[in-house]
Amino acid sequence: MRKLASFAQGQWVAGTGTPATMLHAVTGEPVATASSEGLDFKAMLEYGRRVGGPAMRKLTFHERARMMKALAQYLMGRKDEFYALSAATGATKSDSWVDIEGGIGTFFVYSSKGRRELPNETFYVDGDVEPLSKGGTFVGRHVCVPLEGVAVHINAFNFPVWGMLEKLAPTFLAGMPAIVKPATATSFLTELVVRAMIDSKILPEGALQLIVGGVGDLFEHLTCQDVVTFTGSASTGRKLKAHPRIIEESIRFNMEADSLNFCMLGPDAAPGTEEFDLYIKEVAREMTLKAGQRCTAIRRAIVPAAYSDEVIKALGKRLAGSTLGDPSVEGVRMGPLASRAQVAEVRKSVDGIKAAATVVFGDYDNFTVTGADRGKGAFFPPMLLHCADPLGTSAAHDIEAFGPVSTVMGYQSVAEACELAKRGKGSLCGSLFTASDDVARDVVLGTAAFHGRLNIVSRRSAKEQTGHGSPLPHMVHGGPGRAGGGEEMGGMRSVMHYLQRTAVQAHPQTITRVTGVWTKGADTPTDVAHPFSKHFEDIQVGDTLFTHRRTVTEADVVNFAGMSGDYFYAHTDEIAAKDSLFGRRVAHGYFVLSAAAGLFVYPPKGPVLANYGLERLRFTKPVYPGDTIQVRFTCKQKTAKDTPPDGVPQGVVEWDVEVTNQDQDICAVYSILTLVARKPTA
């Protein structure tokens, strides 16, 4: 039996005092012991702030992203160790896949998104420039910088790996150190993964600490720069959220609580349709995956009242084919709950729901277990209930059985179905099976305010949809009300949870220097050398080229129409153009872009490798034959890139482009992105 240790202040520390014992969910045998007694929680927080924080903040977003990718690759190389120990939690192979590789996959996703969506900087500039004065000498921008505290992650027992990694991914990308506190019941698996992360030596010192056992007086030492995230029961989450220190210091607290998620069968999805069959498969799968111990599991099956009997019959048949037992035995589809304590808790919850519903499948006093001793393991059978009066009773909407339990309830109209969905008082997710886009619209708009995520499934999306209960790194995971009122993941949204957004108000030149992004009104230094003749390192933000001028002729317009095939009347029909908003024939907007490129492009071969793209194009004033245009071409921002496989070191330069006419009226504005070679190293 292993004695688990916490990782505190760069050292593995075994707790003192009487430890808690964790039991194998299948056999009931002791697996490990753990205690956090003797840890100096105040010192752990100070160590994270003093050592881990500065080390993380000096890295850019891209450096952190590359670090996360390397760590994910390292963990994938050791996944067999994790799978072997995951069996002690009662997980089947597919359960472990969701937990282990799903968690590691979250690191891969955030690494990729961080390099694509965030700058190669230690801070993030949020939103556009806000003009704050008439003359343009006083403007504002928002910058986001990492908080200078520690992120404390308190996780649930059901996903000891994914629950940790899905929180660490945005935390590390944002540049904050973390203290992870897993639920004790399955902390032996979390500890193994943390040991691997520390063994990798990829993370900076102080970036990650671990507590196995209780949190002691940790909360008493939190400050306004710290962040707390919690996943678990709504009652525990409310207690932590109301801690005096959380309130006094206005500490950011993100809560993701178990909820009474719904899965709805559309009125069009009658028995015999593909959507009906997909619905039955999904509800049964969600009831048995992880033995129903998922915060996103389907707790309420909302179906047309006329189909209730058919749904119950089909679900019963499907559930009867799910063999309960030791996941290591061939043919076992569902494992035990995480602990015997959970068995008692789920049984108590089922008894509460039975006050307003009837059991239509399953019996917690009489069920078969394959390959294991029912009396020693934490086994609980799939149970299906039916609530005949879901609008008149509340138990099925108030009580969550955190196991393989779901309640079928009928509705008479889509509006009534939406009302039933909202009776959960805020849920992490809901799903709808329908072939009708009109029903989908009504349900989304009728339930979205009470749900963090809605998954719509039809025969058209069936093969690729990811499932009712599968939170994805790209999408928000969380929900209002009972679900905790927080948001996890959701791509860059969750990264912002660990950053402070600050408004900076100053002259455009000051804003440019602070942010590293050229702001209109700032200096525009010019040089004899053309910007396209310079390597990435030699280009400075603000470097500007004012081009020579070009007068647009009628021949230009006619020739461009012939070359492009764009004979739109405003360009080619003088009579029709008189009645247009332009008043007469006007040059093509894309001709203006082409002519502008001809003015600012440097023809000889040089460090510019390619045009990378064009963004934020706006045509602000028409250009007529006879107008004379000129271009201001300014380096707006530089981003160094990883060296590609072809071995050419390079970076992306964003150029702010402004096209004006002879009266200095702005005719077009946009950004050009170019790939520019870096200087070769000696």
pLDDT, tens only, 397-437 = 999 999 999 999 999 999 999 999 999 999 999 999 999 99
Q: How far is Cα 421 from Cα 96, in angstroms, rounded to an integer?
A: 30
Where along the chain do the CATH 3.10.129.10 domains lie?
A: 524-677
pTM recorded for the entire structure: 0.89
Topology (CATH) of 261-466 = Aldehyde Dehydrogenase; Chain A, domain 2 (3.40.309)
Q: What is the pLDDT of residue 265?
A: 97
Question: Boundaries of CATH 3.40.605.10 in the chain?
Answer: 2-257+494-500
Nearest-angstrom CA–CA distance, 453 and 183:
25
Residue 567 in contact with residue 607, Cβ under 8 Å? no
Q: Which CATH number fits domain 524-677: 1.10.645.10, 3.40.50.620, 3.10.129.10, 3.40.50.1360?
A: 3.10.129.10
User: Looking at the domain 2-257+494-500, which fold is it?
Assistant: Aldehyde Dehydrogenase; Chain A, domain 1 (3.40.605)
Query: What is the DSSP code string of 128-180?
Result: EEEE-SSSSSSEEEEEEEE-SS-EEEE--SS-TTHHHHHHHHHHHHHT--EEE
101, 144, 286, 295: which is the annotated catalytic residue? 295
Mean confidence (pLDDT) of the chain: 92
Residue 402: which of 298, 311, 530, 549 has the closest Cα?
Answer: 298
> Per residue, what are the HEC states of 463-481?
CCCCCCCCCCCCCEEEECH
Per-residue pLDDT at 478: 86
Residues of the chain with pLDDT under 50: none
**What distance in Å separates the CA atoms of residue 184 and residue 353, rounded to the nearest whole number?**
28
Separation of alpha carbons 323 and 326, rounded Å: 9
Q: How far apart are the first and last CA of the chain?
A: 56
Active site residue 275: no
pLDDT of residue 682: 59
Calpha distance 103→162 (Å, rounded): 4
Q: State the span(s) of the chain assigned CATH 3.40.309.10.
A: 261-466
Of the candidates 101, 166, 256, 286, the residue annotated as catalytic is 256
- Is 654 part of the annotated catalytic residue set? no
Is residue 143 within 8 A of residue 450, CB to CB? The reply is no
